[in-house]
């Protein structure tokens, strides 16, 4: 088992595109670490650089206490699961799982025994003689995981491991993956563009944009204390309400109405300062009677989310979304008040887009 | 269509359409029949003439005999030439397979500037190399290299001519192998040659089988190159030896030629059947990506 440390890591492609732009991060031993970001943010390149499939342009990379920057992939003792699983179509499941051992020159008997053992652990019993083409997506994914496990790596690297599964199977596989990582305790880095997946699986998440890290923190951290408006908008199943506002003493003025100053920003802003006010739809409440310090508006759109409803309200020229329970669904066209709790709202600097006056939650591992 | 007067012209136009369709169909079948006869006649001749007491350049019900094969076996060069053909075509196939798969893999994976132009011009030139146009320079070249009248000369020229097309076809197969297969093997420590052996070649196997059969057939049937580059009758491959089958009177020895033609075509047919059984010109079901 091993920690992964990068130091000013740069991956520049011919033509000057910096897919990874001077990253210095530490992924702790045994940690389940997510690289999250929109497509083209460099998260897959970072993963491939850790694997050795891409050669770092600058900077150093260590796995455990070994500097692996200049080592070929095969000597880094990492296992990678690809998005398409990359199972060899001409080999049986058993041969696929045993392939890393074949490269390590383990004799056929012992390596098939290991494959059978690992396959049993990942409930592949009875499928060992099939070819990948005869398996379902979920089974293929487990074969790919089994092959990674069989190689006894110090680090697992998963490239969008769940994206090829259908929605229902994905939830199942997610739980399975987390359980597997807990049981093995192997340092795991996985890449995803799905914030829900990152929040559900990871111990810590790095949110990337344009080759740089916007924020590193635990799921709770990045959800409730996003470092900037980009993270705030990217994390969360319904996008955070972000509106330009002006600080007015103890309150914040949005579209003519006033809401209380978020507690996290108290003392960190000056009167009259331009800010961006942020509130998650899940944290806002709806009242049909007048409330002080609330935004009055008219319901324009209802979107059913199953057990809850996403309501869009137009309040003084701004659109605000919030989530209510299915029993409290307001009628379209009705008027009411959107109540924001000071403890659950945030202010961002209008110019830098950074979180204002944050007292970040204590994170499990401090930033390097 | 409510009145009876309407139905008569309707029936009339119906019957015209029917006759037209029937005539069209008859015409089509007659045409197909001609095409079939055109292609079937030589094959029928090939199957019947060797067993005919007096084979001629026409199709008859044979007066059954095996005498023609007797004559063939008595000819000192006939069977030997088949052996020569086997040697030349197998060596050429081996060279083409090994070099083409290595080159195709490299061209498919490494980005070389002007790669496509290189491939296309090689493909274009290859038809010249094995064609008639370049025969004089090739003759001179082989003479200068003192390779005249050797199998090596034939094998080199044939392989050189076949390689571009083989590389072109195989590169396509290798392009269609997802990179992640190889990267996955690399992460587990496989070397480039191991990746080629364990992953790329097995996946490209239908393509390799196609190339193997194709190069054997090309060499097997090629007349011009061995005819020009070989001098001794005992080195001639089958395609060339047929040229020497004349009677004392200067007439083509049809008994010998017909029997030999049958022998000449059987290996190619067997090769197709064998390769199709063993390797199959088919693809493995991959993973959707």
pLDDT of A62 reads 94
- Greater confidence, B111 or A314? A314
Residues A181, A173: contact at Cβ < 8 Å?
no
pLDDT at A78 over 90: yes
- Give the residue from chain B lying closest to A84, CA to CA: B289
**Cα separation of A59 and A194, whole Å?**
28
Distance CA B229, CA B236 (A): 10
**pLDDT value, residue A7:** 92
**What is the rounded distance in angstroms from the CA atom of residue A282 to the CA atom of residue A236?**
10
Which residue has 């074949």 as its token pair?
A102
Average confidence (pLDDT) over A139-148: 92
Provide the pLDDT for residue B39: 92
Alpha-carbon distance of A329 to A230, in angstroms, equals 30
* pLDDT value of position B10: 60
Give dist(CA A40, CA B17) in Å, integer.
63
Average pLDDT of every residue of chain A: 89
Cα–Cα–Cα angle for A67, A20, A360, nearest 5°?
Answer: 90
What per-residue string of b and e applies to A317-331 under the rule 16 or more CB within 10 Å gives b? Answer: ebebbbbbeeeeebe
Chain A residue with the nearest C-alpha to that of B190 = A103
pLDDT band with cut points at 50, 70 and 90 for residue B280: low
Q: Quick check: A367 pLDDT over 60?
A: no
The C-alpha R_g of chain B, in whole angstroms, comes to 27
Residue carrying the six token digits 């003084």: A316
Give B284's contacts in chain A (Cβ within 8 Å): 89-90, 131, 133
Return d(Cα A189, Cα A212) in angstroms, integer: 17
Query: Cα(A320)–Cα(A325) distance, rounded to whole angstroms?
Result: 17
Element (H, E) at A159: strand A155-159
If pLDDT is split at 50, 70 and 90, which confidence band does B114 have?
confident
ipTM (interface predicted TM): 0.81
Q: Do residues B265 and B82 touch, judged by C-beta distance below 8 A?
A: no
* pLDDT digits 0-9 by tens, B195-236: 988 998 888 888 888 899 899 999 998 988 999 999 888 889
| Cβ-Cβ contacts under 8 Å, A85 against chain B | 287
Per residue in B139-177, pLDDT (tens digit) is 999 999 999 999 999 999 999 889 988 998 888 888 888
Instruction: Tell how many helices (H) and how many strands (E) occur in chain A.
Output: 8, 21
B2-56 pLDDT tens trace: 445 455 556 778 888 999 999 999 999 999 999 999 999 888 888 888 888 887 7
CA dist A260 and A294 (Å) reads: 8
Q: What is the rounded average pLDDT of the residues A261-273?
A: 86
Model pLDDT, residue B204: 85
Q: For the residues B62-72, what does the mean pLDDT come to?
A: 82
Chain B neighbours among A 281-340 (CB < 8 Å)?
Answer: none
Query: Which residue bears the tokens 């916007």?
Result: A214
Q: What is the pTM of this model?
A: 0.77
Residue of B nearest to A137 (CA): B287
| pLDDT tens-digit series, residues A215-256 | 999 999 899 889 999 999 999 888 899 999 999 988 899 988
């Amino acid at each position: 088992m091993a920690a992964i440390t990068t130091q000013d890591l740069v991956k520049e492609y011919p033509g000057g595109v910096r897919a990874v732009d001077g990253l210095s991060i530490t992924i702790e031993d045994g940690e389940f670490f997510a690289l999250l970001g929109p497509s083209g943010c460099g998260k897959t390149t970072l993963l491939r650089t850790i694997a050795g499939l891409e050669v770092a342009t600058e900077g150093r990379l260590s796995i455990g206490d070994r500097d692996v920057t200049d080592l070929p992939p095969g000597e880094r003792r990492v296992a990678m699961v690809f998005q398409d699983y990359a199972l060899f179509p001409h080999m049986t499941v058993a041969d696929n799982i045993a392939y890393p051992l074949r490269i390590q020159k383990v004799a056929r008997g012992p390596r098939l025994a290991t494959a059978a053992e690992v396959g049993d652990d990942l409930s592949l019993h009875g499928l060992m003689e099939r070819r990948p083409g005869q398996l379902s997506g979920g089974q293929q994914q487990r074969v790919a995981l089994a092959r990674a496990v069989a190689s006894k790596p110090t680090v697992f690297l998963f490239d969008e491991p769940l994206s090829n599964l259908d929605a229902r199977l994905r939830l199942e596989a997610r739980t399975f993956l987390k359980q597997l990582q807990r049981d093995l305790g192997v340092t795991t880095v996985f890449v995803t563009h799905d914030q829900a997946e990152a929040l559900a699986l990871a111990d810590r998440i790095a949110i990337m944009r344009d080759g740089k890290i916007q924020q590193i923190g635990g799921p709770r951290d990045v959800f409730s204390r996003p470092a900037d408006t980009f993270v705030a908008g990217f994390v969360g199943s319904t996008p955070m309400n972000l509106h330009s506002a002006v600080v007015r003493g103890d309150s914040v003025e949005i579209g003519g109405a006033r809401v209380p100053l978020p507690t996290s920003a108290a003392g960190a802003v000056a009167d009259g300062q331009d800010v961006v006010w942020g509130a998650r739809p899940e944290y806002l409440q709806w009242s049909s009677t007048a409330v002080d310090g609330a935004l009055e508006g008219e319901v324009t759109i209802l979107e059913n989310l199953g057990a809850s409803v996403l309501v869009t309200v137009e309040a003084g020229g701004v659109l605000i979304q919030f989530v209510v329970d299915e029993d409290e669904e307001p009628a379209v066209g009705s008027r009411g008040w959107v109540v924001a709790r000071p403890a659950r709202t945030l202010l961002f600097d209008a110019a830098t887009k950074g979180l204002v006056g944050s007292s970040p939650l204590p994170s499990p591992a401090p930033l390097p | 269509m409510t009145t009876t007067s309407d139905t008569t012209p309707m029936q009339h136009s119906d019957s015209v359409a029917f006759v037209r369709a029937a005539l069209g169909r008859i015409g089509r079948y007659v045409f197909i029949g001609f095409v079939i006869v055109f292609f079937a006649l030589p094959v029928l001749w090939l199957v019947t003439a060797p067993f005919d007491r007096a084979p001629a350049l026409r199709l008859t019900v044979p007066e059954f005999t095996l005498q023609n094969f007797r004559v063939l076996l008595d000819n000192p060069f006939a069977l030997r030439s088949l052996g020569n053909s086997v040697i030349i075509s197998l060596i050429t196939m081996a060279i083409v397979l090994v070099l083409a798969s290595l080159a195709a893999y490299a061209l498919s994976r490494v980005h070389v500037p002007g790669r496509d132009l290189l491939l296309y011009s090689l493909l274009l030139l290859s038809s010249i190399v094995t064609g008639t146009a370049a025969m004089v320079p090739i003759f001179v070249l082989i003479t200068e290299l003192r390779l005249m009248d050797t199998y090596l000369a034939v094998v080199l020229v044939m392989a050189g001519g076949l390689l571009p097309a083989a590389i072109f076809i195989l590169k396509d197969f290798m392009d269609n192998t997802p990179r992640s297969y190889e990267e996955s093997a690399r992460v587990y420590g496989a070397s480039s040659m191991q990746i080629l052996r364990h992953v790329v070649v097995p996946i490209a196997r239908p393509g390799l089988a196609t190339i193997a059969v194709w190069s054997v057939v090309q060499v097997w049937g090629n007349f011009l190159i061995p005819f020009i580059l070989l001098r001794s009758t005992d080195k001639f491959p089958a395609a060339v030896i047929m040229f020497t089958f004349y009677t004392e009177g200067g007439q083509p020895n049809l008994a010998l030629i017909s029997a030999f033609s049958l022998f000449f075509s059987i290996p190619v047919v067997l090769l197709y059947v064998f390769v199709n059984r063993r390797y199959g010109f088919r693809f493995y079901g991959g993973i959707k990506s």
